Amino acid sequence: MDHFSSYHPSVLLVYYVIVLLLTMFTVHPVLLVCSLLGGILFFAAMNPLKALGKNLIFYLFLFFLLALTNPIFNHRGETPLFFMNDNPVTLEAILYGAGVSVMLIGIMFWCKCYNQVMTSDKFVYLFGKAIPKLSLVLSMALRFIPVFKSQMKKISQVQKTMGLYTSDSLTDRVISSIRTLSALLTWCLENSIETADSMKARGYGLKGRTNFSIFCFRMDDGILLAALGAFLCMLGVGYQQNVFEFYYYPSVSPIPTGAGAYLQYSIILVMMLFPSILEIKGRIQWKLLRAKI
């Protein structure tokens, strides 16, 4: 059961916009770690551990790649650790690369969660009346890669079931990949034509067309929206008090501390962990209810 996704689409969109903008436009290590932790836990709450493990392995490799690549091209900083080809490799450059890596990985995890929570029907519900054609195109584009991956897996399984390409030779695998890609592209073209004809037959985008919606704005949605507004106000106070001021060059600045700073960090952590807390709580309740049957 997905509890966070049961909120109104407009509230979910506001939450994701706040989280993504806060992650993208900050270099503060505490904020970045909170965002990364929230994204990983939320992804883990909605997906099997096997999927989480595969993603963590890939992103761990990406983290070290970006963190170690940055000092090769960026030689700024006051703390040289060693020299490579007469160019200093500085501590500040390594830490900056690590910070950017955490930011990118956090954004990727949140985007994965966004694709699972903000489904096409929610996106079209929000923007279908204002920009019907663009909203349909964007909703299809956002689910383009997941649908393609799923269809490619189906095509590959069908070919193996038919007894094709069962050997592990390189030639067999290349031919299998080409045939799978050809079938996938053919399916894509057919599906796009069928989708266009279906939407046209249903009168999508015409004036006066009514829409049925299962979404309604409840009290919980209003409470969460008010909490997000209070969260933004607290962030504004924090920025005004320079709690989130941090820089890597020319030397790494100290992380702001104190009662006010710790309060801001705690609020941000709770807000980042809110979806995963809801999901975990809901799953525990569901298991307890099933155990009573």
Cβ(264)–Cβ(243) below 8 Å? yes
> What is the pLDDT, as a whole number, of residue 18?
92
Specify which residues 87 forms β-bridges with. 84
> What is the pLDDT, as a whole number, of residue 42?
92
Q: What is the DSSP letter of 253?
A: P
> What is the pLDDT, as a whole number, of residue 226?
92
> What is the pLDDT, as a whole number, of residue 132?
66
Specify which residues 90 forms β-bridges with. 80
DSSP for 199-222 reads: HHHTTTT-TT----------HHHH
Residue 208 tokens, joined: 């006066």
DSSP for 38-57 reads: HHHHHHHHHS-HHHHHHHHH
Cβ(61)–Cβ(53) below 8 Å? no
Radius of gyration over every alpha carbon of the chain, rounded to an integer in angstroms: 24
> What is the pLDDT, as a whole number, of residue 1?
46
User: Rounded to an integer, what distance in angstroms lies between the CA atom of residue 28 and that of residue 32?
Assistant: 6
Q: For each successive 10 residues of the chain (293 residues), what is the average pLDDT?
A: 79 92 89 93 89 89 88 82 81 88 93 85 74 68 74 81 70 78 83 78 69 78 90 87 84 84 90 90 82 79
Cβ(63)–Cβ(98) below 8 Å? yes
Per-domain boundaries in the chain: 4-141+216-291
> What is the pLDDT, as a whole number, of residue 185?
84
Cβ(8)–Cβ(216) below 8 Å? yes
Give 33: exposed, middle or buried? Use CB within 10 Å, 0-12, 13-18, 19+: middle
